[in-house]
Protein backbone atom coordinates (compact mmCIF):
# COMPACT_ATOMS: atom_id res chain seq x y z
CA UNK A 1 0.00 0.00 0.00
CA UNK A 2 1.27 3.46 -0.92
CA UNK A 3 2.15 5.68 2.03
CA UNK A 4 1.32 9.10 0.65
CA UNK A 5 3.07 10.79 3.57
CA UNK A 6 6.33 9.71 1.92
CA UNK A 7 5.31 11.27 -1.39
CA UNK A 8 2.97 14.23 -0.92
CA UNK A 9 5.16 16.31 1.35
CA UNK A 10 7.32 19.45 1.35
CA UNK A 11 10.49 19.24 -0.78
CA UNK A 12 8.89 16.76 -3.19
CA UNK A 13 7.80 17.62 -6.72
CA UNK A 14 4.60 17.08 -8.74
CA UNK A 15 4.09 17.52 -12.49
CA UNK A 16 0.57 17.77 -13.91
CA UNK A 17 -0.31 17.97 -17.59
CA UNK A 18 -3.59 19.65 -18.37
CA UNK A 19 -2.83 21.55 -15.19
CA UNK A 20 -4.33 24.93 -16.03
CA UNK A 21 -7.94 23.98 -15.30
CA UNK A 22 -10.35 21.31 -14.11
CA UNK A 23 -9.09 18.18 -12.40
CA UNK A 24 -5.47 19.04 -13.25
CA UNK A 25 -5.57 22.42 -11.53
CA UNK A 26 -7.46 20.98 -8.53
CA UNK A 27 -4.75 18.34 -8.17
CA UNK A 28 -2.00 20.95 -8.52
CA UNK A 29 -3.61 23.02 -5.74
CA UNK A 30 -3.85 19.95 -3.51
CA UNK A 31 -0.15 19.18 -3.99
CA UNK A 32 0.84 22.82 -3.53
CA UNK A 33 -1.16 23.06 -0.29
CA UNK A 34 0.79 20.05 0.97
CA UNK A 35 4.03 21.97 0.43
CA UNK A 36 5.14 20.31 -2.79
CA UNK A 37 6.78 22.13 -5.65
CA UNK A 38 4.43 21.96 -8.62
CA UNK A 39 4.96 22.16 -12.37
CA UNK A 40 1.89 22.51 -14.56
CA UNK A 41 1.87 22.03 -18.32
CA UNK A 42 -0.93 23.02 -20.67
CA UNK A 43 -1.74 25.04 -23.76
CA UNK A 44 -2.97 28.63 -23.70
CA UNK A 45 -0.49 31.07 -22.23
CA UNK A 46 -3.00 33.34 -20.49
CA UNK A 47 -4.86 30.43 -18.93
CA UNK A 48 -1.59 28.85 -17.80
CA UNK A 49 -0.35 32.12 -16.31
CA UNK A 50 -3.59 32.59 -14.38
CA UNK A 51 -3.36 29.06 -12.96
CA UNK A 52 0.27 29.65 -12.01
CA UNK A 53 -0.67 32.77 -10.06
CA UNK A 54 -3.31 30.81 -8.15
CA UNK A 55 -0.70 28.21 -7.24
CA UNK A 56 1.88 30.82 -6.23
CA UNK A 57 -0.67 32.28 -3.82
CA UNK A 58 -0.76 28.90 -2.11
CA UNK A 59 2.88 27.88 -1.98
CA UNK A 60 5.07 30.80 -3.15
CA UNK A 61 6.66 31.68 -6.46
CA UNK A 62 9.78 29.58 -5.87
CA UNK A 63 7.69 26.40 -5.77
CA UNK A 64 5.71 26.86 -9.00
CA UNK A 65 6.55 26.58 -12.66
CA UNK A 66 4.21 26.66 -15.65
CA UNK A 67 5.32 25.57 -19.10
CA UNK A 68 3.22 25.73 -22.26
CA UNK A 69 3.40 22.19 -23.61
CA UNK A 70 1.70 20.27 -26.40
CA UNK A 71 1.57 16.76 -24.94
CA UNK A 72 0.94 15.27 -28.38
CA UNK A 73 4.55 16.28 -29.21
CA UNK A 74 7.04 13.75 -27.85
CA UNK A 75 9.90 16.23 -28.03
CA UNK A 76 7.90 18.83 -26.11
CA UNK A 77 7.37 16.32 -23.28
CA UNK A 78 11.08 15.50 -23.24
CA UNK A 79 11.82 19.23 -23.01
CA UNK A 80 9.29 19.56 -20.17
CA UNK A 81 11.04 16.81 -18.24
CA UNK A 82 14.44 18.45 -18.71
CA UNK A 83 13.10 21.82 -17.57
CA UNK A 84 11.52 20.37 -14.43
CA UNK A 85 14.65 18.42 -13.52
CA UNK A 86 16.80 21.52 -14.06
CA UNK A 87 14.53 23.59 -11.79
CA UNK A 88 13.51 21.12 -9.09
CA UNK A 89 15.97 18.21 -9.38
CA UNK A 90 13.56 15.27 -9.43
CA UNK A 91 9.90 14.31 -9.77
CA UNK A 92 7.78 12.30 -7.31
CA UNK A 93 4.28 12.65 -8.76
CA UNK A 94 3.48 12.62 -12.46
CA UNK A 95 -0.16 13.14 -13.40
CA UNK A 96 -0.76 12.60 -17.10
CA UNK A 97 -4.10 14.38 -17.18
CA UNK A 98 -4.31 16.43 -20.38
CA UNK A 99 -7.34 15.48 -22.45
CA UNK A 100 -9.58 16.74 -25.24
CA UNK A 101 -12.88 15.52 -26.61
CA UNK A 102 -13.93 16.91 -30.00
CA UNK A 103 -16.74 14.90 -31.56
CA UNK A 104 -15.76 12.14 -33.97
CA UNK A 105 -17.37 9.35 -35.93
CA UNK A 106 -15.75 6.38 -37.62
CA UNK A 107 -15.38 8.22 -40.91
CA UNK A 108 -15.03 11.79 -39.66
CA UNK A 109 -12.03 13.94 -40.58
CA UNK A 110 -8.52 12.77 -39.72
CA UNK A 111 -7.88 15.94 -37.74
CA UNK A 112 -10.21 14.97 -34.91
CA UNK A 113 -8.85 11.44 -34.65
CA UNK A 114 -5.23 12.62 -34.78
CA UNK A 115 -5.81 15.29 -32.12
CA UNK A 116 -7.60 12.99 -29.67
CA UNK A 117 -5.20 10.08 -30.02
CA UNK A 118 -2.21 12.43 -29.89
CA UNK A 119 -3.28 14.14 -26.66
CA UNK A 120 -5.34 11.58 -24.76
CA UNK A 121 -3.35 8.46 -25.51
CA UNK A 122 0.13 9.35 -26.75
CA UNK A 123 0.34 12.22 -24.26
CA UNK A 124 0.04 9.61 -21.51
CA UNK A 125 2.37 7.10 -23.16
CA UNK A 126 5.08 9.61 -23.99
CA UNK A 127 4.67 11.53 -20.74
CA UNK A 128 5.25 8.33 -18.79
CA UNK A 129 8.21 7.36 -20.94
CA UNK A 130 9.74 10.84 -20.62
CA UNK A 131 9.49 11.09 -16.83
CA UNK A 132 9.41 7.48 -15.67
CA UNK A 133 13.08 6.47 -16.01
CA UNK A 134 14.39 9.31 -13.83
CA UNK A 135 11.55 8.79 -11.34
CA UNK A 136 12.67 5.19 -10.92
CA UNK A 137 16.34 6.14 -10.88
CA UNK A 138 16.18 8.57 -7.94
CA UNK A 139 14.99 5.72 -5.73
CA UNK A 140 12.38 7.66 -3.75
CA UNK A 141 8.68 6.71 -3.57
CA UNK A 142 6.45 8.20 -6.21
CA UNK A 143 3.26 7.99 -8.25
CA UNK A 144 2.26 8.04 -11.89
CA UNK A 145 -1.46 8.85 -12.19
CA UNK A 146 -3.05 8.56 -15.63
CA UNK A 147 -6.49 10.00 -16.28
CA UNK A 148 -8.75 7.54 -18.07
CA UNK A 149 -12.52 7.50 -18.48
CA UNK A 150 -15.50 5.24 -17.94
CA UNK A 151 -16.00 5.60 -21.69
CA UNK A 152 -12.74 3.72 -22.15
CA UNK A 153 -14.29 0.73 -20.38
CA UNK A 154 -17.97 0.67 -21.42
CA UNK A 155 -17.20 2.35 -24.80
CA UNK A 156 -20.65 3.87 -25.48
CA UNK A 157 -21.63 4.98 -28.98
CA UNK A 158 -20.98 8.58 -29.89
CA UNK A 159 -17.30 9.41 -29.99
CA UNK A 160 -15.18 6.43 -31.08
CA UNK A 161 -11.85 8.27 -31.14
CA UNK A 162 -12.30 9.34 -27.53
CA UNK A 163 -13.27 5.82 -26.47
CA UNK A 164 -10.30 4.31 -28.27
CA UNK A 165 -7.94 6.80 -26.64
CA UNK A 166 -9.22 6.17 -23.14
CA UNK A 167 -9.32 2.39 -23.65
CA UNK A 168 -5.67 2.68 -24.61
CA UNK A 169 -4.90 4.64 -21.44
CA UNK A 170 -6.46 1.84 -19.37
CA UNK A 171 -4.45 -0.90 -21.10
CA UNK A 172 -1.22 1.13 -20.98
CA UNK A 173 -1.59 1.96 -17.28
CA UNK A 174 -2.31 -1.66 -16.37
CA UNK A 175 0.85 -2.72 -18.20
CA UNK A 176 2.77 0.12 -16.56
CA UNK A 177 1.77 -0.93 -13.04
CA UNK A 178 2.66 -4.56 -13.80
CA UNK A 179 6.11 -3.51 -14.95
CA UNK A 180 6.65 -1.13 -12.05
CA UNK A 181 5.73 -3.70 -9.39
CA UNK A 182 8.17 -6.12 -10.97
CA UNK A 183 11.03 -3.62 -11.14
CA UNK A 184 13.60 -4.56 -8.52
CA UNK A 185 14.07 -1.73 -6.04
CA UNK A 186 11.43 0.38 -7.74
CA UNK A 187 9.29 2.59 -5.52
CA UNK A 188 6.97 4.07 -8.13
CA UNK A 189 3.34 2.94 -8.42
CA UNK A 190 0.84 3.63 -11.20
CA UNK A 191 -2.85 4.42 -10.80
CA UNK A 192 -5.72 4.81 -13.26
CA UNK A 193 -8.05 7.70 -12.45
CA UNK A 194 -11.55 7.00 -13.82
CA UNK A 195 -13.62 10.15 -13.22
CA UNK A 196 -17.38 10.23 -13.12
CA UNK A 197 -19.36 13.21 -14.39
CA UNK A 198 -17.14 16.15 -13.42
CA UNK A 199 -17.97 19.77 -14.22
CA UNK A 200 -14.90 20.89 -16.19
CA UNK A 201 -14.16 22.76 -19.39
CA UNK A 202 -14.33 19.44 -21.24
CA UNK A 203 -17.85 18.62 -20.07
CA UNK A 204 -19.65 21.86 -19.29
CA UNK A 205 -20.58 22.84 -22.86
CA UNK A 206 -22.72 25.99 -22.75
CA UNK A 207 -23.62 25.58 -19.07
CA UNK A 208 -22.46 28.29 -16.69
CA UNK A 209 -23.43 26.46 -13.51
CA UNK A 210 -22.57 22.97 -12.34
CA UNK A 211 -25.41 20.48 -12.86
CA UNK A 212 -26.61 18.76 -9.71
CA UNK A 213 -25.49 15.39 -11.11
CA UNK A 214 -21.85 16.43 -11.50
CA UNK A 215 -18.98 16.40 -9.04
CA UNK A 216 -16.53 19.26 -8.78
CA UNK A 217 -12.89 18.79 -9.73
CA UNK A 218 -11.99 19.18 -6.05
CA UNK A 219 -14.30 16.32 -5.05
CA UNK A 220 -12.69 14.14 -7.69
CA UNK A 221 -9.18 14.91 -6.46
CA UNK A 222 -10.17 14.26 -2.84
CA UNK A 223 -11.58 10.88 -3.86
CA UNK A 224 -8.42 10.16 -5.85
CA UNK A 225 -6.16 10.86 -2.89
CA UNK A 226 -8.24 8.72 -0.51
CA UNK A 227 -8.29 5.88 -3.04
CA UNK A 228 -4.51 5.94 -3.45
CA UNK A 229 -4.13 5.91 0.33
CA UNK A 230 -6.13 2.66 0.33
CA UNK A 231 -3.86 1.21 -2.34
CA UNK A 232 -6.42 1.29 -5.16
CA UNK A 233 -5.12 1.01 -8.71
CA UNK A 234 -8.52 1.56 -10.34
CA UNK A 235 -9.83 4.87 -8.96
CA UNK A 236 -13.45 4.49 -10.05
CA UNK A 237 -15.18 7.74 -9.10
CA UNK A 238 -18.89 8.03 -8.49
CA UNK A 239 -20.75 11.29 -8.94
CA UNK A 240 -24.03 12.78 -7.73
CA UNK A 241 -26.02 10.76 -10.28
CA UNK A 242 -24.33 7.37 -10.68
CA UNK A 243 -23.25 5.27 -7.70
CA UNK A 244 -20.47 2.71 -7.92
CA UNK A 245 -22.78 -0.36 -8.09
CA UNK A 246 -24.35 1.02 -11.27
CA UNK A 247 -20.93 1.56 -12.85
CA UNK A 248 -19.89 -1.95 -11.85
CA UNK A 249 -22.92 -3.55 -13.51
CA UNK A 250 -22.48 -1.47 -16.67
CA UNK A 251 -18.86 -2.58 -16.88
CA UNK A 252 -19.74 -6.21 -16.16
CA UNK A 253 -22.34 -6.15 -18.93
CA UNK A 254 -19.77 -4.75 -21.37
CA UNK A 255 -17.40 -7.64 -20.64
CA UNK A 256 -20.34 -10.03 -20.90
CA UNK A 257 -20.72 -9.15 -24.58
CA UNK A 258 -17.55 -11.16 -25.20
CA UNK A 259 -18.21 -13.96 -22.73
CA UNK A 260 -21.79 -14.52 -23.90
CA UNK A 261 -21.10 -13.78 -27.57
CA UNK A 262 -23.64 -10.96 -27.73
CA UNK A 263 -23.48 -8.23 -30.41
CA UNK A 264 -20.96 -5.49 -29.61
CA UNK A 265 -22.37 -2.63 -27.54
CA UNK A 266 -25.42 -4.78 -26.82
CA UNK A 267 -26.40 -2.40 -24.03
CA UNK A 268 -27.59 -0.07 -26.81
CA UNK A 269 -28.95 -2.86 -29.06
CA UNK A 270 -32.78 -2.92 -29.19
CA UNK A 271 -32.90 -6.71 -28.84
CA UNK A 272 -31.09 -6.51 -25.47
CA UNK A 273 -32.64 -3.41 -23.93
CA UNK A 274 -34.94 -5.30 -21.57
CA UNK A 275 -32.25 -7.82 -20.63
CA UNK A 276 -29.82 -5.04 -19.76
CA UNK A 277 -32.42 -3.19 -17.72
CA UNK A 278 -33.12 -6.36 -15.72
CA UNK A 279 -29.40 -6.98 -15.26
CA UNK A 280 -28.86 -3.41 -14.05
CA UNK A 281 -31.63 -3.90 -11.51
CA UNK A 282 -30.05 -7.15 -10.32
CA UNK A 283 -32.85 -9.36 -11.59
Does the pLDDT at position 208 exceed 80? Answer: no
Give the Cα-Cα-Cα angle 57, 203, 245 (nearest 5 degrees). 105
Question: Judging by beta carbons within 10 Å of its beta carbon (0-12, 13-18, 19+), is residue 122 exposed, middle or buried?
Answer: buried
Scanning 138-243, the segments in alpha helix (DSSP H) are: 151-154, 160-181, 217-229
Q: In whole angstroms, give the CA distance from residue 242 to residue 253.
A: 16
CB-based contacts of 279, cutoff 8 Å, min separation 6? 249, 253
Active site residues: 162
Domain borders along the chain are: 4-241, 243-283
Q: Yes or no: say if 141 and 92 are a contact pair by the CB < 8 Å rule.
A: yes
Confidence of residue 194 (pLDDT cuts 50, 70, 90): very high
pLDDT at residue number 148? 98
pLDDT at residue number 22? 95
Percent of the chain with pLDDT over 70: 96
pLDDT at residue number 283? 79
Taking residues 248-271, report their average pLDDT.
97
Question: Judging by beta carbons within 10 Å of its beta carbon (0-12, 13-18, 19+), is residue 264 exposed, middle or buried?
Answer: exposed
Scanning the chain, the segments in alpha helix (DSSP H) are: 22-33, 45-59, 74-88, 110-116, 122-137, 151-154, 160-181, 217-229, 244-259, 273-280
Does the pLDDT at position 32 exceed 70? Answer: yes
DSSP code of 27? Answer: H
DSSP code of 218? Answer: H
Q: Which element (helix H / strand E) includes 100?
A: none
Q: Yes or no: say if 25 and 40 are a contact pair by the CB < 8 Å rule.
A: yes
Q: Which element (helix H / strand E) includes 191?
A: strand 188-194
pLDDT at residue number 204? 55
Q: In whole angstroms, give the CA distance from residue 38 to residue 107.
A: 40
**CATH 3.40.50.11540 applies to domain 4-241:** no
Confidence of residue 59 (pLDDT cuts 50, 70, 90): very high
Burial 103-118 (b: 16+ CB within 10 A, else e): ebeeeeeeebbebbbb
Does the pLDDT at position 202 exceed 80? Answer: no
Q: In whole angstroms, give the CA distance from residue 231 to residue 141.
A: 14
DSSP code of 198? Answer: B
Confidence of residue 67 (pLDDT cuts 50, 70, 90): very high
Half-sphere exposure for 61 (CA within 13 Å, toward CB): 1
Percent of the chain with pLDDT over 90: 92
Confidence of residue 203 (pLDDT cuts 50, 70, 90): low
The residues with which 189 forms a beta bridge, in sequence order, are 143
Q: Yes or no: say if 166 and 155 are a contact pair by the CB < 8 Å rule.
A: no
Amino acid sequence: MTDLNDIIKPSNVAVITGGASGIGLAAAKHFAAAGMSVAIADLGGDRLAKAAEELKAISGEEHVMAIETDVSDKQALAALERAVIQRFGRVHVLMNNAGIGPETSIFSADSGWDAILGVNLMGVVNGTRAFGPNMLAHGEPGLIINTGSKQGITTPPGNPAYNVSKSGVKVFTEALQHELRNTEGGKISAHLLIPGFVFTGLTKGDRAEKPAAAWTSEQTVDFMIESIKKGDFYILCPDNDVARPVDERRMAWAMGDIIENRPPLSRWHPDYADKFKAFLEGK
